[in-house]
Amino acid sequence: MTNSYTVKGHSFLVGQAFVGRGLMRMRRLPSLMLPTIVMPIFFVVAFSGSFASVVALEGYGTDKAVNWMTAWAVLQGAAFSGLGGGGLTATDIENGFFDRLRTAPINPSVLLTGLVGYSICRAVIPTTAVLIVSFCFLGAEMPGGGLGFIMVYISAIGMAAFMSFFVLGIVFIFKSIKSLAIAQIVMFSTMFLSVGQAPLEAIEGWLNGVAEVNPISHVIRMCRQGFLGEVTWQQTQPGLIAMLCLIAGTAIWARICYRKVDI
């Protein structure tokens, strides 16, 4: 009587189902989506407006603030989207839906991948929105061409992935929606302590040292390179390495924290 169905690609289908469920919820509850689109658009408008003249300083390598700030806004949006998988899980844990998922015979790694996949899909939306605003209304330029755009999307996806793994870990530990606030504070701090808004040459004091060793700085540079000039392997490689290490590290962290919610 036992029905141990074995479907080819079960893991893939489960991952797909999680992504689908997340996107469907977003469609039905637009208030979930609004902040993740509006905030990064506001960021790019505000940062390139407020700090319009700052690019005249040494090290920025562009004469338009929007060229510098678009990547920063995209990655902020991607980090916000990274909260998505964590937010969904925190809600599920609080209302008990997570127990239903746990009684299903699925591998925790598959579950985590599905949730992160949802965050990644989410990240594409604000990224595109910011690019549209930057290029259509703020006069951004992309000397790096198509490759530059590819770099933007790769870094945004990477950023969403490791932020999402990180947030999931926090959610598994605290098992509450409130814990998202903690995750946000950590997220924001690590992002701000980087070359997000100013190049290393312009940063003075302790922050210079911190921004230099902050792996997120490499990801930001990879994302930004096409706006400032040619896309080069020299700038791409450290970004990719940092990104992959962050994804691997946070994935392990999330998997370890998962033990807090399952036997």
Number of residues this chain uses to bind other proteins (CB under 8 A): 62
What 87-93 contacts at long range (C-beta under 8 Å, 24+ apart), as own/partner pairs, is 87/32, 87/167, 87/177, 87/180, 88/22, 88/25, 88/115, 88/118, 89/115, 89/168, 89/171, 89/172, 90/171, 90/175, 90/176, 90/177, 90/179, 90/180, 91/177, 93/171, 93/175, 93/176, 93/261
Asked if 35 interacts with other proteins (CB under 8 A), we say yes
Q: Among residues 114 and 215, whose Cβ is nearest to other proteins?
A: 114
84 contact partners, CB below 8 Å, separation of at least 6: 22, 36, 118, 119, 122, 160, 164
Rg (alpha carbons) of the chain, rounded to whole number: 19
Binding other proteins (rule: CB under 8 A), the pick from 62, 109, 128, 208 is: 208
Tell me how crowded residue 251 is: count the other CB atoms within 10 A of its CB: 21
Residue (21 or 255) nearer to other proteins, CB: 21
Residue 56 near other proteins by CB under 8 A: yes
The stretch near other proteins (CB under 8 A) out of 1-9, 167-175, 226-234, 249-257 is 1-9
Q: Is 5 among the residues that bind other proteins (CB under 8 A)?
A: yes
User: Among 149, 177, 197, 253, which residue sits at the site for other proteins (rule: CB under 8 A)?
Assistant: 197
Question: Hey, which residues between 84 and 123 contact other proteins (CB under 8 A)?
Answer: 92, 95-106
Interface with other proteins includes 257 (CB under 8 A)? no
Q: Give yes or no for a contact between 98 and 49, defined as CB atoms under 8 angstroms apart.
A: no
The nearer residue to other proteins, 53 or 234, going by C-beta atoms, is: 53
Exposed e or buried b for every residue in 187-207, given b needs 16+ CB within 10 A? beebbebbbbbbbeeebeeeb
Is there binding between residue 213 and other proteins (CB under 8 A)? no
Q: Find the part of the chain contacting other proteins (CB under 8 A) among 34-42, 70-78, 162-170, 217-225.
A: 34-42
User: Nearer to other proteins by C-beta: 168 or 247?
Assistant: 168
| Region binding other proteins by CB under 8 A among candidate stretches 75-83, 123-131, 181-189, 237-245 | 181-189
C-alpha 72, offset from chain centre: 11
Shortest CB 81 distance to other proteins, Å: 17
Distance CA 179, CA 94 (A): 12
Q: Which residues bind other proteins (CB under 8 A)?
A: 1-7, 10, 13-14, 16-17, 21, 24-25, 28-29, 35, 38-39, 42, 45-46, 49-54, 56-58, 92, 95-106, 178, 181, 185, 188-189, 192-193, 197-198, 202-208, 263
